[in-house]
A = this chain, B = another copy of it.
Amino acid sequence: MTRRGSKNAAPSTARPKSRSLGLSLDPDDARSLYQQLFDEIVSRISTSAFPPGFRLPPTRQLSEELDVHRNTVVRAYRDLEEAGFVESTVGRGTFVKALPRASAASPRVTATPASTSEATPPSTPLPWASLLAERATSEPIRRIARRTKRPLFGPAIDLSRLQPGPDLLPTKLLTRCMEHVLDRSGGRALGYAPLEGAASLREQIAADLARQGVPASADDVIVTSGSQQALDVIVRALVDPGDTVLVQAPTYGGALQIFAAAGARVEGLPNDADGPLVPTAARGRPKLVYLMPNHANPTGGCISEQRRHELVAWARGRGVPIVEDDYAEDLELDALPTPPAMRALDGEVLYTSSFSKRLVPALRIGFVLAPEPLRPTLAALQHTSSLGTSLLLQLTLAELLERGYGRAHAARMREIYRSRRDALCDSLEKHLDGRVIVPRPARGVTAWLPLPGAIDLESLGETARREGVLVATGDLFAGARTDPEPDAHGVRLAYCFEPEDRLIEGARRFVKALDQLWPQSASKRGKQRNEGEGALV
């Protein structure tokens, strides 16, 4: 009675009603027919329209009903089985599998709350603030946590974001290379990466560097999760808590965070027109010198060739490693000569760079060139930090570079960044009207605007935000102890993320904010603002 009366069981004698499955395929859909069939069936399994134990129609029958080649159905069924949604038994048919028993009957759900509440006092949290490690509470780390949460694509114009805008990312080229890698290597592209990185990528990186005059062999390269992890690993390898690190002042906030997390004492080097001054004996015995010789973040300065030689000679003589962070590698916007890389002057220099600014941040791939004796330690610490960077993304980037897509894309980026730089700087000059000289950077993706010392930088950032533009003020790059005080009073404006029209408008909004804080004209400013509102809006 029960068996015969069951509504779920298909009557075995009558003609199967699989037409009522309601499946339909669309030949105009971008997905292939077998993919559509796969998706349709998975969707019905998810909603339990096809419950566990449900028998799918035989392939021949379904192919006739859907008017498709039988192979289409066979392939969809095979993929469904491979993916774990159905199981086939020869002679019996293809059945929907019972999905994870954990969904309903996980033994863990039967936790015993009674004894739990007796044994532990859930109402009293642990004293987390007092449990934090000393270095985790340092100012540069706290700064990240304090950072205003802002939506990635909000209405504000973002001149603070140091990444290519979404319109500049080579989605198609990346997709094509990734599909090729997955098609060629299958599961072999989806495991863990070798300790130092994928061999094919290390070769491409070395070739790419050679093209730019940075001597490197594939063996020199250790692949990392962006140049951020490269620096983190270098610091973990070389810096003990309390050790001194020398930096250009001001310098990249992310580097200051790494030094803080390592418990390092950070000393800033003052600059002259040639770059940071060669350290004097007063700097003690530093463990590391961190430099951005080609396009300093945030000021955009480029260290002269002469000063590079002096710094390298000093470091060699004192036995102090230099880290050369060339994050804006391959982003020379004007046909100006760039001095040789410090790594080209001395093979003991640790050279780091990244594919985030010139290619794709979501690759999360950077690298370090390191002298042979240091490599095993760097690779081991990189492994300790994260077990390496995604093998799939490494192989995809290698393919992209090997095909020449990387070079072509970088050339295109240089053109676009040049236009964007000019749009931003032209608009700034127009609105500033001579009050501040706007230096036009020859490299990279940011402009640096020095400001009168009387302007409070935190207030400026907040005022700009209210005017609808986000900027990176100089205080975000402070933290090194310097003597004398460096010229870090200014604002960094990035021209990589926003398109030209928004850069032009962003500059206008920024100057409007600046007007509100401009010194030595308090009374005049009041008038100007009223006039300005009319003129600028």
Contact = CB atoms under 8 A, between A and B. Distances in A.
A83 interface: yes
Interface string A38-68: 0000100110000000000000000000000
A175 B169 contact: no
Given A108-B212, A240-B135, A257-B384, A408 B119 contact: no
The 9 A-B pairs with the shortest beta carbon distances in the complex, nearest first, are A166-B187, A84-B412, A111-B340, A108-B213, A107-B337, A145-B376, A169-B187, A84-B408, A144-B380
Among A46, A102, A107, A178: residue with most chain B CB under 10 A: A102
A190 interface: yes
Interface in A176-226: 176, 178-179, 182-183, 186-195, 211-214, 224-226
Contacts of A319: 126-127, 131
Contact of A82 (B45, B172, B243): B172
A319 B45 CA distance: 46
A431 interface: no
Chain A interface secondary structure, helix, strand, loop or mixed?
Answer: helix
A35 B408 CA distance: 17
Interface in A147-164: 147, 152-153, 163-164
A237 interface: yes
Which residue, of A46, A99, A188, has the highest number of chain B Cβ atoms within 10 A? A188
A10 interface: no
Contact of A339 (B108, B120, B340, B356): B108
Contacts of A1: none
A254 interface: yes
Nearest to A187: B166
A348 to B, nearest CB: 5
A335 B164 CA distance: 50
A142 B261 contact: no
Contacts of A383: 144, 257
Nearest to A172: B79
Contact of A362 (B35, B192, B313): B192
Interface stretch (A304-312, A458-466, A480-488, A528-536): A304-312
Contacts of A121: 316
A239 interface: yes
B309 A119 contact: yes
B392 A192 contact: no
A89 interface: no
Copies per assembly: 2
Q: What is the size category of the interface that chain A forms with chain B?
A: 35 or more
Nearest to A79: B172
Interface string A68-104: 0000000000010011110000000000010111110
Interface string A98-134: 0111110011111110011001111011111101111
Nearest to A239: B133
Contacts of A258: 384
A32 to B, nearest CB: 11
Nearest to A408: B84
Contacts of A411: 84, 97, 99-100
A16 interface: no
Interface string A337-350: 11111001111100
A147 B380 CA distance: 10
Contacts of A182: 171, 174-175
A218 B287 CA distance: 42
A361 interface: yes
A97 B126 CA distance: 62
A405 B83 contact: yes
6 contacts: A82-B170, A83-B409, A100-B411, A132-B237, A136-B377, A232-B384
B362 A120 contact: no
A192 B163 contact: yes
Contact of A391 (B170, B236, B362, B392): B362
Contacts of A174: 182, 190
Nearest to A257: B384
A193 B313 CA distance: 40
Nearest to A370: B128
Given A108-B338, A190-B361, 20 more contacts: A42-B408, A83-B409, A84-B408, A102-B330, A103-B211, A108-B214, A110-B337, A111-B341, A119-B309, A120-B345, A122-B346, A132-B238, A178-B178, A179-B179, A193-B362, A261-B381, A362-B391, A362-B393, A363-B390, A364-B388
